[in-house]
A and B are shown apart, each in its own frame.
Chain A
Amino acid sequence: MDPQAQRDRWLAAVAAAADPAALAEAENRLFGGKGEVAEFVRSVTSLPKEERPAFGKLANTIKQEVEAAVAARKEQFAAAAMARELEGAAFDPTEPGVRKPRGTMHPITIVQNELVDLFTSLGFQWQDGPEVESEFFNFDALNIPGDHPARESQDTFWLTDKNLLRTHTSPVQVRTLQRAVKQGFQPPLKVIVPGRVFRSETVDRTHEHTFYQMEGLVVDRAHGDSGISIANLIHTMKTCLRVVLERDVQVRLRPGFFPFVEPGFELDVNCPFCKGQGCAVCKQSGWIEILPCGMVHPNVLRAGGLDPEEFVGFAFGMGLQRVVMLRYGIDDIRQFMGGDQRFLAQFPEVSR
């Protein structure tokens, strides 16, 4: 057959392939093991020697031409396929995929971790203390002697072995100081102690007998330029609340009495619900009481083994539930200890 006619037939066959499968079939017929094109090229061997170069050249040209046509046709199909793909007519972005079971951290854990990260970045160490505590560490060492009215206001859970469930995280102040002193005190000491505390209260929407606090303690030398003052306390607390509440908070410091600090303060933040205008949440005051704090009482430093003439410090105790409730708008404190997955699933975030 005339090579040109062959060529035209092959090109027509490539052009006639209606889809990738037909093209693949045509390609196989032309270029496969005993394919027509291959045979055509190979047929050079049956020609007389002098005709071979010319035929070989022609055959190669034709072969390349057909190959190019196949490649172009493939490219056409690929382009058409991509165009269809990009059109996306049957695409439903709302169809659910396979979901792994999702776990969530407890909202108090989320906030506590953020606070730990913040305070460790400020050079605080994260410590812990026992929840079953001795009367000495919970009261006596904190300047709350046997007949002090603060003992009753704390509604202590007493244990049959004369110990108690700690009513605050403050006992860890003295424990930490004693340990530091034993190891050869190297000021400054900066420590936070988040943890579970207990007060014998009837549980309702706003009261719990088991709750979470975060204690903070900073102690440094009382002279040179390293002294610790109320000015530092205010700055530290503001920084902390800004991070946790994720807004630029206003705070106010007012007198508050706690036996283990002197002077003692209550720290309030401006009410997020009414922007300080006064509402039911803040009892019309525009402020929400968020943490008691103060300068460490000399007797507490003494109980920790330090001379209050030589050392000075501040301490604070933040109610974590309060902060968590403010942050997420939770209005029922019982949910924290309720263990209901439907509550817990509402806080899928990880600590930032």
Chain B
Amino acid sequence: MKISLRWLQRHVDLAGIEPKRILADLTMSTAEIDGLIRFGDGLEPLVIGHVRKREKHPDADKLSVCEVDLGKGGGVVQIVCGAPNVAAGQRVVVILPGDTLPASGGKGALKIKVGKIRGVESQGMICSEAELGLSNENDGILVLPADAPIGERFVDCFDVQDWVFEIDNKSVNHRPDLWGHYGFARELAAIYGRELKPACAPLPLPATGRRVDVVVEDKQACPRYCGLVVDGVVSGPSPHALRWQLAAVGQRSISLPVDVTNFVMLDLGQPMHAFDARHVGNGPVRVRRARNGESITTLDGVARKLNDQDLLVCADQKPEALAGVMGGAGTMVAADTTALFLESANFHASTIRRTSMRLGLRTDASARFEKAQDPANAELAVHLFLTELQRWCPTAKPAGPLVDPLGFKYAPKTVTLRRARLLLKLGVRLDDDKVESILRSLQFGVTTTKDGFDCVVPSFRATKDIAIEDDLIEEVGRMYRYDNIPERPLHGTSAPPPRNEELFLARRLVEVACLETGCSEVYNYSFTPDAVLQAVGAGGHAYVQVQNPVAPDVTRIRRHVLPSLLASAAANLRHAAEARLCEHGKGYHAEMRDEHKLPHEVRELALVFARRDGAHPFLELREAVGSLLERVGYPGVMQRVWHGSDQPWVHPSRAVAIDRDGSPCGYVACLHPGVARALDLPATTAIACLDVRALFVNGRKIARYVALPTFPTLPVDVALLVDEAVQVAAVAEFLRATGRKLVKDVRLFEAYRGDRLPAGKKSLNFTVTLGADDRTLTDEDEGKFLGKVRENAGQIGAELRG
């Protein structure tokens, strides 16, 4: 929304206040201002001229050669002009060679030069409104009134230049009174302590005469409807002053009566509709709900299908307008209109909003009604309309009485503001006088009481904006200015805050995964594209789904983090030989619900190691995950081969479960080769998934101290030949059991497979560290241990080598 400084000055004297300061003060007390624009900037060089003579160009039918008198502003010059409407005797706006016409309407600035047009010299240019940036009017040159003074600067004689504030509409959504200039004038009057002039003096209206009755069938949807017949209207184009004022705030000029309704709307925030009285006939004008399936063609030429939630304004039963949104096609004022039926009504905010939303039809009117306009303005607007119309069209007059079947009497709402609450919330003590003067400046009625202030809310703030004490605290705070409130630390507390250990665990997991295992942490969308779900074989699962997705193929909310992380890995491998990624995030399982019917949430840390060449990263990732779990204090056991489940991207036979105290809390696996192919990932891709909540339930494990050995330890190398199927962990366990208390450590240093071994066999080569707490071990101890190993190796199908 654009607000003009010149317009504001009609209501409040802002002399001596810089526009930039107004911008700053409105920002700090009232609303967000997106920008400040100079309207009519660069028009200073333009001079008013008199076309003394106009002749047809000797070589061009459509051009005229004019002799223009610029008086003291440039003498008499010859100008070639292409406008069809140029004529001798006109007062026009001229730009001379050497001056520059400012950029406007998408055209760049234009430097004027003396030139020959079809052989005739032209010493300047006669301008159109469009060329001046004052309107879209491009049919011909701007013709000024006959008394425009020759030779004077255009900007000195006409009110064209203005400062325009661009208001961020979102910041005034809660303020119905700020949808017009008068509301902003009221704020500025309060801010600067200046007088606010009345919006308009009431005009006497006839008690009898031509009237069209109004029947409001739904009083909730239409709390007030004022109708008035106005005749004697000359429906031509608006005069320049009105056109330019509207242009400054971005409103296109249409015709005088319509421009005046727009003027009133932009002033008071009250939308109006001027029907050609012929359309309404003898009435009655009926405000009713539409019938399901009924339709109306709005004045933009679109046929709109309606339902019984929509509100219509009808000439008896025939729909003439979609109430509060847009008039019907053909009902508007035409060039030959002489009598108007003027509608100035108040429509229910939600009704208008619903219709406007459903039809995707947002208009200046609907934007205002949906903010809950003050019904008092409906009548005031009629008076302002007549005043403004008569200013430009003195023959126009009310033809009969104001028809206002519902009327409106504001029952003043009082809200109490307690001193103690004001102090409590603002955190600064204000004098009663200060509080009272702020509230009065905003037109609240104020009575001081023992505890504070009883405040009568003005009607224009009462529709939805001011309802409770806190609203008044805001009024005082913003006018006092929050900037003037000194900062103060919160009161200290000595007890540490309760810790959500699950969150801290997740955080540490990410930190260690990144800093220790070399992963880069990725964030992926919660939506997983259908193509990715298909590729990982999870297209058939139950998903939480979005109704209004960003694209038709991204409706599904992820169940697990890995699928999109795999897609990230594939993307990274397009420009890198290796990808090490991790992601911490949530998945949702649609088939399980909590007490609020929300889907079951899982918190996962997923890891991917993928490389184009080299060894398969499974073992590396498994070690990394093992160390990660130890680092965060939640060590797990990884021995059980894990056979998939609902995660089809896991290799069905190359995966190990992560168990804590017997319960599963994740896995490390090779990527399923089919999935690798589908996602264009190498077979050498390893994945891991940790269920943070499952890890967390079994508690943190604090390391236990073991006394350091007092006597030297004895390393013994043991090589055992076993079947491929035998697990390293089983053999290590066998060695431990065999050496009993003497075994301090068992470490595999090589798993050898080769030609020198029988097929299907591997040699597991361990270093077993023996030691005792009370003596130094001897060769004899080593011999005994190896003897037992040799003797018992058969139990696990092994054979001691060498």
A-side interface residues toward B, CB under 8 Å?
Answer: 100-106, 108-109, 113, 116, 120, 122-128, 130-134, 136-137, 147, 149-150, 152-153, 157-161, 163, 165, 188, 190, 196, 198, 200, 202-203, 209-210, 218, 220, 222-223, 225-232, 234-236, 238-239, 252-257, 262-266, 283-285, 295, 297-298, 312, 336-337, 339-342, 344-345, 350
B575:A342 contact, CB within 8 angstroms: yes
9 further interface pairs, Cβ-Cβ under 8 Å (given A160-B547, A163-B544): A101-B517, A106-B523, A127-B500, A165-B526, A165-B557, A228-B490, A235-B487, A235-B489, A298-B468
In this assembly, does B546 line the interface, its C-beta being within 8 Å of a C-beta of chain A? yes
Question: Within the assembled complex, what's the spacing in Å between the Cα atoms of A202 and B483?
Answer: 36
Least CB distance from A11 to B in Å reads 43
From B32, B517, B578, contact of A266 by CB (8 A): B32
Q: Which chain B residues (376-427) contact chain A, with CB distance < 8 Å?
A: 424-427
Contacts of A157 in B (CB 8 A): 546-549
Least CB distance from B361 to A in Å reads 14
Least CB distance from A178 to B in Å reads 11
CB closest chain-B residue, reference A156: B548
Contact A231/B546 with A106-B523, A153-B170, A163-B597 known, Cβ cut-off 8 Å: no
A231:B597 contact, CB within 8 angstroms: no
Nearest 9 CB-CB pairs, A to B? A229-B427, A101-B518, A231-B427, A263-B474, A339-B568, A103-B514, A235-B487, A253-B482, A125-B497
Pick the interface stretch among B113-121, B207-215, B503-511, B650-658. Answer: B503-511
Contact A126/B503 with A132-B599, A157-B546 known, Cβ cut-off 8 Å: yes
CB closest chain-A residue, reference B524: A339
From B31, B34, B516, B526, contact of A198 by CB (8 A): B526
CB closest chain-A residue, reference B572: A341
Contacts of A150 in B (CB 8 A): 173
In this assembly, does B93 line the interface, its C-beta being within 8 Å of a C-beta of chain A? no
From B425, B470, B493, B503, contact of A123 by CB (8 A): B493
Contact A200/B488 with A147-B354, A253-B482, A253-B483 known, Cβ cut-off 8 Å: no
Least CB distance from B52 to A in Å reads 46
A131:B586 contact, CB within 8 angstroms: yes
Q: How many residues of chain B have a CB within 8 Å of chain A?
A: 96
B488:A229 contact, CB within 8 angstroms: yes
In this assembly, does B522 line the interface, its C-beta being within 8 Å of a C-beta of chain A? yes
Contact A120/B518 with A234-B487, A295-B470 known, Cβ cut-off 8 Å: no
In this assembly, does B662 line the interface, its C-beta being within 8 Å of a C-beta of chain A? no
Contacts of B487 in A (CB 8 A): 231-232, 234-235, 238
Contacts of A339 in B (CB 8 A): 522-524, 568, 571-572, 581
In this assembly, does B521 line the interface, its C-beta being within 8 Å of a C-beta of chain A? yes
Q: Which chain B residues (453-510) contact chain A, with CB distance < 8 Å?
A: 468, 470-471, 473-474, 477-478, 482-483, 485-493, 495-500, 502-504, 507, 510
Contacts of A203 in B (CB 8 A): 550
B521:A256 contact, CB within 8 angstroms: no
From B353, B485, B549, B586, contact of A231 by CB (8 A): B485
In this assembly, does B756 line the interface, its C-beta being within 8 Å of a C-beta of chain A? no
In this assembly, does B788 line the interface, its C-beta being within 8 Å of a C-beta of chain A? no
B596:A341 contact, CB within 8 angstroms: no
A263:B35 contact, CB within 8 angstroms: no
Least CB distance from A162 to B in Å reads 8
In this assembly, does B370 line the interface, its C-beta being within 8 Å of a C-beta of chain A? yes
CB closest chain-A residue, reference B593: A161
Pick 18 A–B contacts, CB within 8 A, sort by A: A101-B580, A105-B515, A130-B586, A132-B557, A137-B596, A149-B371, A200-B548, A210-B526, A229-B424, A230-B427, A231-B426, A231-B487, A232-B488, A254-B27, A254-B478, A255-B29, A255-B171, A283-B34
A256:B32 contact, CB within 8 angstroms: yes
Contacts of B601 in A (CB 8 A): 130-132
B571:A340 contact, CB within 8 angstroms: yes
In this assembly, does B350 line the interface, its C-beta being within 8 Å of a C-beta of chain A? yes
Question: Within the assembled complex, what's the spacing in Å between the Cα atoms of A223 and B582?
Answer: 48
Question: Within the assembled complex, what's the spacing in Å between the Cα atoms of A342 and B478?
Answer: 46
In this assembly, does B618 line the interface, its C-beta being within 8 Å of a C-beta of chain A? no
In this assembly, does B85 line the interface, its C-beta being within 8 Å of a C-beta of chain A? no
Contacts of A222 in B (CB 8 A): 424
CB closest chain-B residue, reference A157: B546
CB closest chain-B residue, reference A123: B493
Q: Which chain B residues (509-548) contact chain A, with CB distance < 8 Å?
A: 510-511, 513-526, 544-548
